[in-house]
């Protein structure tokens, strides 16, 4: 695995304003990883998965309260799989886009564990077909079907989806530093908590207790590897 880097980007996306869906320009970053050349020119099949992690501070809690700061594992955020077939050459792979403004995940600390797996052609084909079906999927679509698999149901004629294989895996944790942006990111949590919590606290418990934060699995103690 090579270096991880980002580039600032503006893109159009749907957002809601007073329950109305509108198109707005979103400020964010494209995050990419450099993949060095292989020792040979044989085809290689690579898969990336992402495990984001950040801290969240309850803006209206007492500054010394134990439930003020939490460490969050993002169980839904940036959970897409990226794949790439390559002929052993070095290349630059975009992994994800992340918006920067109005994104509480990056106000304090944000990092992501990037897992890169080198897999067999069959394993890769399974994920390639699965992603193709997901990309054109809709709310009422059927589950994935017709995927290459090396699983077989016992005592049943039912089809089985899945693929078993041995992989080579490398991981790297990349930390995003908002100070490296060309513009300032404003921490607006206290403003919005004051604006909405004080007149109507219903559903805004995360403003006073970080353990109620809904963006992921939130606990008020750091993980074992934490050294910040």
Rg of the Cα atoms in the chain? 21
Q: Is 82 helix (H, G, I), strand (E, B) or coil?
A: strand
Query: CA-CA distance, 214 to 73, in Å (whole number)?
Result: 11
Q: Number of H helices and number of E strands within the chain?
A: 2, 9
Average pLDDT over residues 110-121: 94
- Give tens-digit pLDDT for 131-152: 887 766 554 455 566 677 777 7
- CA count, 13 A, side-chain hemisphere, 189: 21
Structure confidence at residue 176 (pLDDT): 96
Query: CA-CA distance, 159 to 144, in Å (whole number)?
Result: 11
Q: Where are the beta strands (DSSP E) in the chain?
A: 4-17, 20-35, 44-57, 69-73, 82-86, 91-99, 110-119, 168-176, 217-219
Predicted TM-score (pTM) of this structure: 0.83
User: Is it the case that residue 29 has pLDDT exceeding 80?
Assistant: yes
Percent share of the chain, pLDDT over 70: 94
Q: Is 128 helix (H, G, I), strand (E, B) or coil?
A: helix
Structure confidence at residue 5 (pLDDT): 96
């Amino acid at each position: 695995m090579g270096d991880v880097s980002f580039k600032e980007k503006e893109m159009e996306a749907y957002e809601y304003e007073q329950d109305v869906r509108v198109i707005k320009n979103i400020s964010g970053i494209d995050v990419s990883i450099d993949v060095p050349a292989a020792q040979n020119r044989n085809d290689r099949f690579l898969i990336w998965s992402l495990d984001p992690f950040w801290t969240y501070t309850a803006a209206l809690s007492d500054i010394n309260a134990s439930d003020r700061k939490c460490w969050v594992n993002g169980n839904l955020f940036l959970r897409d799989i990226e794949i790439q077939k390559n002929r052993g050459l070095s290349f630059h792979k975009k992994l994800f886009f992340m918006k920067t403004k109005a994104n509480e995940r990056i106000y304090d600390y944000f990092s992501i564990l990037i897992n890169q797996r080198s897999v067999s052609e069959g394993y890769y084909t399974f994920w390639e077909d699965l992603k193709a079906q997901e990309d054109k999927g809709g709310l009422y679509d059927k589950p994935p079907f017709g995927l290459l698999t090396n699983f077989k149901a016992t005592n049943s004629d039912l089809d089985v989806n899945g693929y078993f294989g041995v992989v080579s895996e490398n991981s790297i944790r990349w930390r995003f530093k908002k100070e490296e942006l060309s513009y300032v990111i404003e921490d607006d949590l206290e403003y919005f908590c004051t604006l909405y919590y004080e007149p109507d606290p219903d559903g805004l418990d995360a403003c006073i207790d970080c353990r109620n934060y809904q963006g992921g699995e939130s606990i008020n103690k750091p993980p074992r590897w934490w050294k910040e």
